[in-house]
Each structure stands twice: as C-alpha cells, then as structure tokens.
Structure 1
C-alpha cells in the first residue's frame, strides 16, 4: 500500500506544489492587507484559489488520466503489490487531498474573515466523498476509458452545490438576510448531514470494493 500511495504522491507533486504556493500567497495576503490595499488583486486571488482547489479535490482522477496518457498503468499493474492495497492507497490518498484542500481553503478564508464559508466547504467535502466512492467503485474496472465523462459525473454535483448552496450561503450572510429557520437548516445543518452521509458511503464503498477484489480479483 505504501508503494502505491508513494506513486500517487509522486504523480501529483505538482498539485501539492500549487497548493503550497497558494497557501503562501493567501497567508501573505491575509497578513499584509493592513499595509496595502489588496482589493484590486482579490479577483485574481479568488480565481487562483478556485483553480487550485479544483485540482486538489480531483487529484486522484488527474493521476489516473496522467498514468493512462503515458501508459504507466502497465508499470503500475506490474508492481509487486496487491490490488486491495492499490484500492486502499487510492482511498487514503483522496482523503489526504481533501485535508489538503481544507488547508488551502482555511488560509483563504482568513483573508476576509469569511468563516461562514466553512459550511459550504463541509457540504462540498461530503458530496466529494460520495462521488469519489462512485468513481473508485463503478469506474474501477474501466478508468482507462471516458475520462471526460467521469470528470463531468464527479464535478456536476459539486458545481450544483457551489451554485445553490455555497454562493447563496455567502450572499445571505454577507447581506445579513434572514429567510427563516428552514433556510438556516439548509445553510448550516444540511452540510453536516451530507458530510456524515459521505463518510459512511466512502467507508462502505471501500469495504465493498475490497470484498469485490477478494471475490473476483478485479480492480
């Protein structure tokens, strides 16, 4: 499992570098805004953060796409490693990348002290766990095909959450709009329900995938 996890980290080192650079930029912006006016640069910083977090949250798919482009999957399958370890490494790797995404996001929110955005992030993390479970199980046998389709299936729910939860959450908090208890549940409670469901689905899909490998020797 360690070999596969190391391989994933090596293939995604450029994503880790992007995230690390973004963390530094965010921290510099947060602690220098009292000295200089950062407003003209914030649209650019916002865009950079969005791009980086799109890559960090979908890193495992980028790795699979990169591996297939240079035929490294032949080398991957020739490694002296069990298929259950490959599956386990992918699950652990995606969880690590979600933690890294939270780290990048945390340095971003301190720029404007927009801590309410964490509720939106929690919602997206939960949906990511659910969709990645589908990706790692359903597409485990055919991840060499239809890369674009898998990106669409993975990101479509995340995009919907971003548009219909993350953005409304931000707008209603900034403008102090009170739409009643139902809206508060939607903004502040539902994200944790989705996250809890995501964790359960993620764990269950791993156990299912592991059992399937043992029975049919298919990954």
Structure 2
C-alpha cells in the first residue's frame, strides 16, 4: 500500500508548532504501539492535509501486518500444541503398555518363584526318601550278611555206585558225614542237608 510517493510526502512533512509542543512522554512511545497508532488517528491531525492521511494509512498497514504476524504466530503455537498433545498421548499410551507388560511380567515371575519353591520342597522330600531307602538297604544288607554268617549251610552232592549203595548204604552215609565234618569243621547240624545221587 505504501508507494514511492508516500515516502516522498513523508520526507516533505514539516512538524507544526503543535507537534513540537507534544509531551516528551508521548515522544518516547513506540511508533508501532497501539497508543501511537491511536494518536495518529487524531481527527485534528487528519484534517491537516493529505500528508497526515498517508501517515494514517501507513500506520494502518503496519497494524494489519502486526495482526497478521500475531495470527500466524498463534496458528503456529496451536499447531505446535496439537503436536505436543499427540506426543503426550503417545507417551501415555506407551506408559500404559509398559505398565501392563510389567504387571504381566511380575505375575509370571511370581508364578515361576512359586513353582521353584514347590520343586525345591519336592526335591527335598525325594532326597529324604532316598536317604531313608539307602539306610534301609544298608540294614537289609547287614542283616543278610549276618544271617549268612550265622546259617552257613553247605550242600554236598555225591554220585555213589549202585553196588556199594546196595550192600552198605549206612556205611556210605557215615563215611560221607565224617569226611564232610572233618574237612569243613562246621557244626553237626549243618550236615542235615545231603543229597545222594544214585544212578
């Protein structure tokens, strides 16, 4: 909206006496501030000629540009806020999934620990049973060895000719018992089991 003629007119603008007597506080204000813009819209100054009208148009153009910049920044902030909300929602979803996964993992670990404890108790019981069975086996072995030592039975198998058995069977039995008793040196009751094989 501002042309080269506008700049030339602004260069030719000569401040009036009234403008020289303006309060110094107003001179320090920013020309782009709303107060300076409203001051530029003073009807008395607008009635001074075309130069003041061009100044008002320039200020309005600046105001429009400022409003456009503010709206653009606001739009960018809204877009950024929407993106941040999406990121926050994603983080919340990930945290929820992580919490569920952690709960599932905790339950699984608890079950595994319970199974491990039960298995440990079962192994201990099996070990105790094996030890008791081992002790019983040792006792049985000791009893068996004691019984074998106490009851030392021996079986003698002889093959006697038929002719000798017919003539003197009692004599043959006495000879066998005597020989067995002398050779083994065991009590007489051990000679009760004697098998004679007669053809």
Structure number with greater Rg is: 2
Question: Scaled by the length of structure 2, what TM-score is found?
Answer: 0.22
More strand by share: 2
